[in-house]
Amino acid sequence: MRGVIFAILASLVWGLAPVFFKIGLRSEVNNLLALMVHNLSAFLLAFVLYVLIDGSFRIGLRELTFLAMGGILSGFLGLFFFFEAVRHGNVSIVSPIASTSPLWGVLFAFLILGEGISFQKLLGAILIVSGIVLLTLSRS
């Protein structure tokens, strides 16, 4: 249950963040500068909280490498593309499309991690794509 509660909180926060991104990107702020501000603010908050709560810096090279790769993919490339999408599109259209990451997560978990794909997962992926199509068509 705790995982579900945190997933809902993450969804709420990620649903609100694009509104702030859109406002911040209304001027001609360079996407790379926007990424630096985003990631620096996230880093500083995480660093302060980590030092206050735990303070030990124990991490293996393998874990560090994979976490860094994930950060580069999501915290840099994903946000760079998302900022460009928000700058040029409507948040109400762009955000749901970008939120298809669970669809890709299921696919990559199957291909890379060997996780199974059940009927429910497949149906969920179809519903995600159907919802995106409906939202995109509602723009016209």
Average pLDDT over residues 96-120: 87
The residue extents of the domains of the chain are 2-89, 100-140
55 near 71, Cβ under 8 Å?
no
Average pLDDT over residues 57-68: 91
Helix (H) or strand (E) holding 127: helix 119-137
25 near 101, Cβ under 8 Å?
no
Q: What is the pTM of this model?
A: 0.78
Summarised one tens digit per residue, pLDDT across range 93-107 is 888 888 888 788 888
Question: Of 94, 97, 107, 92, which Cα lies nearest the Cα of 128?
Answer: 97
Average pLDDT over residues 75-100: 88
The pLDDT of residue 140 is above 60: no
66 near 74, Cβ under 8 Å?
no
CA distance 102 to 110: 12
132 near 96, Cβ under 8 Å?
yes
Average pLDDT over residues 103-131: 87
DSSP states of 39-57 as a string? HHHHHHHHHHHHHHHT---
Task: Tell me what the pLDDT averaged over the chain comes to.
Answer: 88
> What is the pLDDT, as a whole number, of residue 8?
84
> What is the pLDDT, as a whole number, of residue 139?
63
Summarised one tens digit per residue, pLDDT across range 5-57 is 987 888 889 888 988 999 999 888 999 999 999 999 999 999 999 999 988 88
